[in-house]
């Protein structure tokens, strides 16, 4: 349960990091007077011998990274137990490990997880978030040299869920972190997929998909800290919006520090507005402190599914409803195809279709 | 045997200054198997006629009728018109990012035919049609019209014509932007469809070049929003020689 607050100050909404977020809707997670329960909320559905899950006390398993995110600071204060997932060194997983997080209380809760990938291990972990939640969540990834992790998180929360989350990877020499963040559910979801490096030859590929409909606020704030030489990063997030007051925020901060010679980075955010009344904020930001790099670039586009496209498809006999589906499925296919799990891909496309149906109805 | 009947068609577009009348009473009847060439100066309203028949929302019908075998085309939605058998090859085909040509063609064929084409025969059908139009098969994996050259877009329009097999096709300057070889290939495509299906054609063009491949039964001169003269193929030659001066000076 909640512990005494020592150094916590709630955001006012004027901070750069919180200016887009509807603070009235965060369910008390940022309020020092709210009682927040510590939960170890992840459950493995297909246990595998090379992966171990243990729940440890927070003192025994401190965070491996610093964070100035107020939701994370607040969560760390109240957390008593931490879930530790360890992928054995040299493990070569052929099947993804599937984790569920469902049946949360719907009252303010906080959760912290550390995923440690052993030297030269190769694994895929999928996390399905469903049901109700008012959750401040932190997942850290500790990638040992030569390891390769694909982490797929699906935010398929219920319509009233609140999720403030951080997913931070520390990638060491020759390790590769692939992240796929899929956010379609929830009332307010604010995620921070962030990356730092601890050795050269390391690489991060951060992909994301979000689809906001009526009244949803879906926010993704990426941060890639190129703090070592010869590391690589790719960011590609795609979002669609439909319906009144759907709001998405995408922030892409990439820093190339003075010592990060040989950096190779590119970040991209594309948004598709399917109806009026929706709003997509997209802010790429690239700061470069050294000129000795392989490449650095960013792009952000926000486009409409316009009347001309609809007319063209309709003029070939395709109904407006199917035309819209065709366009949005096509738009998302690039990201969905990376999941490489047919069941999840189909479920996701069905969910996207049914969200569209709701908007059209 | 089908008939596309346009009677007294009047069409306006909304502009900042209010409604501007563009079509001022168009009368034209096209029967299956007939090819009608429409020639006229820039801005005379040829594309407006084509779009109005297809149902583009930008245009407001203020008078007249369009019927297909007696059915009221103007009362149909855009997709209903296509399913009723109308096809418009556009002067400026639209790019649809994210939607692959394969997926688009299959979805359109499913809509028009009322059932999904059998996978096995369909793939062959598409490949064959692309080959006949000298289109590289890698176009199938590209997004609809995205990054296509002007000529490639026009071929893609005729590819759809071949696969969707409408009753009537309106070809709006399909010949513009085609090199000599492409013009022949595209024209052969149109003739192939016509030979197989008794297609009725409204062919909008500025040049007699394409009429050497696709022989018109009738030529209509279009000026200031209506048809001002009708004749046979010889009228096209006269227009090429003398221009439109006699139709446009008041
Ligand atoms: N949205 C619009 N607002 C104002 N004027 C318009 C609009 N759309 C069309 N027009 C006008 O209607 C007239 C007819 O245009 P249309 O495109 O039908 O001509 P066209 O005969 O096809 O010409 P071209 O040979 O150049 O293709 C033009 O003067 C054009 O500027
Ligand atoms: Mg025109």
pLDDT at A306: 78
Give the chain A residue whose CA is nearest to the CA of B90: A312
Q: What is the pLDDT of residues A169-200, one digit of tens each?
A: 999 999 999 999 999 999 999 999 999 999 99
pLDDT at B250: 54
pLDDT at A7: 64
C-alpha distances out from residue B109 to A51, A332, B91, B113, B242, Å:
49, 23, 22, 6, 43
Q: What percent of chain A has pLDDT above 90?
A: 87
DSSP A25-94: GSTTTT-TTS--EE----EESS--TTEEEEEEETTTS--SS----HHHHHHHHH--EEEEEEEPTT-B-S
Q: What is the pLDDT of residues B74-97, one digit of tens each?
A: 999 999 999 999 999 999 999 998
How far does the CA of residue A239 sit from the closest CA of chain B (Å)?
Answer: 13
C-alpha distances out from residue A161 to A20, A183, A352, Å:
18, 12, 18
Q: What is the pLDDT of residues A57-93, one digit of tens each?
A: 999 999 999 999 999 999 999 999 999 999 999 999 9
Q: What is the pLDDT of residues A332-357, one digit of tens each?
A: 988 999 999 999 999 999 999 888 88
Q: What is the ipTM of this complex?
A: 0.96
- Tell me what the mean pLDDT of segment A304-332 comes to: 91
Q: Compare A7 and B122 and report the one with higher pLDDT.
A: B122
pLDDT at A67: 97
Nearest to B78 among A303, A311, A331 (CB): A311
Q: What is the pLDDT of residues A220-268, one digit of tens each?
A: 999 999 999 999 999 999 999 998 899 999 999 999 999 999 999 999 9
SS3 B108: helix
Residue B101 has pLDDT above 60, yes or no: yes
Kindly list the residues from chain B whose CB atom is less than 8 angstroms away from the CB atom of residue A317: 79, 82-83, 108, 111-112, 164
Q: Which ligand gives the minimal distance to the CA of B57?
A: 1
Nearest to A315 among B54, B95, B99 (CB): B54
Ligand 1 pocket member B220 (CB < 6 A): no
- Specify the residue with its C-alpha closest to ligand 1, atom 4: B15
Residue B145 has pLDDT above 50, yes or no: yes
pTM of the model: 0.82
How far does the CA of residue B240 sit from the closest CA of chain A (Å)?
Answer: 32
């Amino acid at each position: 349960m909640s512990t005494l607050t020592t150094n916590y100050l709630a955001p006012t909404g004027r901070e750069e990091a919180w200016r887009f977020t509807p603070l009235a809707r965060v369910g008390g997670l940022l309020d020092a007077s709210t009682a927040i329960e510590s939960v170890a909320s992840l459950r493995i559905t297909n246990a595998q011998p090379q992966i171990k899950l243990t729940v440890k006390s927070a003192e025994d398993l401190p965070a491996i990274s610093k964070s100035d995110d107020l939701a994370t600071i607040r969560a760390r204060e109240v957390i008593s137990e931490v879930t530790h997932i360890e992928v054995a060194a040299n493990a070569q997983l052929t099947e993804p490990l599937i984790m569920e997080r469902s049946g949360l209380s719907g009252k303010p809760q906080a959760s912290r997880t550390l995923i440690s990938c052993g030297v030269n291990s190769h694994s895929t972990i999928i996390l399905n978030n469903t049901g109700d939640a008012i959750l401040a969540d932190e997942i850290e990834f500790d990638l040992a040299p030569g390891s390769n992790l694909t982490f797929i998180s699906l935010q398929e929360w219920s319509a009233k869920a609140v999720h403030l989350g951080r997913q931070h990877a520390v990638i060491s020499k020759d390790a590769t972190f692939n992240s796929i963040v899929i956010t379609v559910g929830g009332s307010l979801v604010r995620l921070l997929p962030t990356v730092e490096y601890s050795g050269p030859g390391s690489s991060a590929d951060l992909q994301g998909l979000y689809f906001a409909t009526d009244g949803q606020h879906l926010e993704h704030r990426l941060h890639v800290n190129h703090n070592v030489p010869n590391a690589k990063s790719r960011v590609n997030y795609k979002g669609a919006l439909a319906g009144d007051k759907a709001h998405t925020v995408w922030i892409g901060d990439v820093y190339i520090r003075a010592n990060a010679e040989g950096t190779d980075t590119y970040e991209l955010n594309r948004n598709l507005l399917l109806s009026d009344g929706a709003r997509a904020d997209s802010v790429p930001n690239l700061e470069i402190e050294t000129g000795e790099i392989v490449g650095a670039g960013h792009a952000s586009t926000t486009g409409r599914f316009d009347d001309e496209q609809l007319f063209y498809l309709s003029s070939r006999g395709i109904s407006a409803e199917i035309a819209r589906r065709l366009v949005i499925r096509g738009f998302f296919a690039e990201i969905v195809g990376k999941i490489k799990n047919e069941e999840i891909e189909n479920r996701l496309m069905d969910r996207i279709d049914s969200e569209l149906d709701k908007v059209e109805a | 045997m089908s008939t596309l009947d346009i009677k007294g068609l009047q069409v306006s577009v909304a502009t900042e200054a209010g409604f501007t009348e563009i079509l001022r009473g168009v009368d034209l009847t096209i029967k299956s198997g007939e090819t009608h060439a429409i020639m006229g100066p820039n801005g005379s309203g040829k594309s407006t006629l084509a779009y109005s028949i297809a149902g583009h929302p930008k245009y407001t019908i203020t008078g007249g009728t369009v019927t297909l075998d007696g059915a009221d085309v103007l009362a149909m939605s855009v997709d209903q018109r296509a399913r009723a058998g109308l096809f418009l090859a556009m002067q400026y085909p639209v790019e649809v990012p994210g939607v692959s040509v394969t997926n688009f063609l299959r979805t359109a064929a499913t809509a028009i035919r009322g059932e999904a084409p059998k996978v096995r025969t369909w793939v062959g059908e598409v490949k064959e049609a692309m080959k006949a139009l000298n289109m590289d098969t890698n176009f199938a994996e590209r997004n609809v019209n995205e990054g296509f050259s002007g000529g490639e877009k026009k071929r893609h329009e005729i590819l759809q014509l071949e696969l969707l097999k409408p009753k009537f096709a309106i070809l709006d300057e399909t010949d513009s932007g085609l090199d000599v070889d492409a013009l022949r290939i595209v024209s052969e495509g149109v003739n192939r469809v016509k030979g197989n299906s008794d297609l009725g054609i409204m062919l909008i063009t500025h040049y007699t070049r394409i009429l050497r491949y696709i022989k018109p039964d009738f030529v209509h001169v279009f000026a200031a929003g209506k048809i001002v003269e009708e004749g046979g193929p010889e009228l096209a030659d006269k227009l090429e020689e003398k221009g439109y001066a006699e139709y446009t000076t008041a």
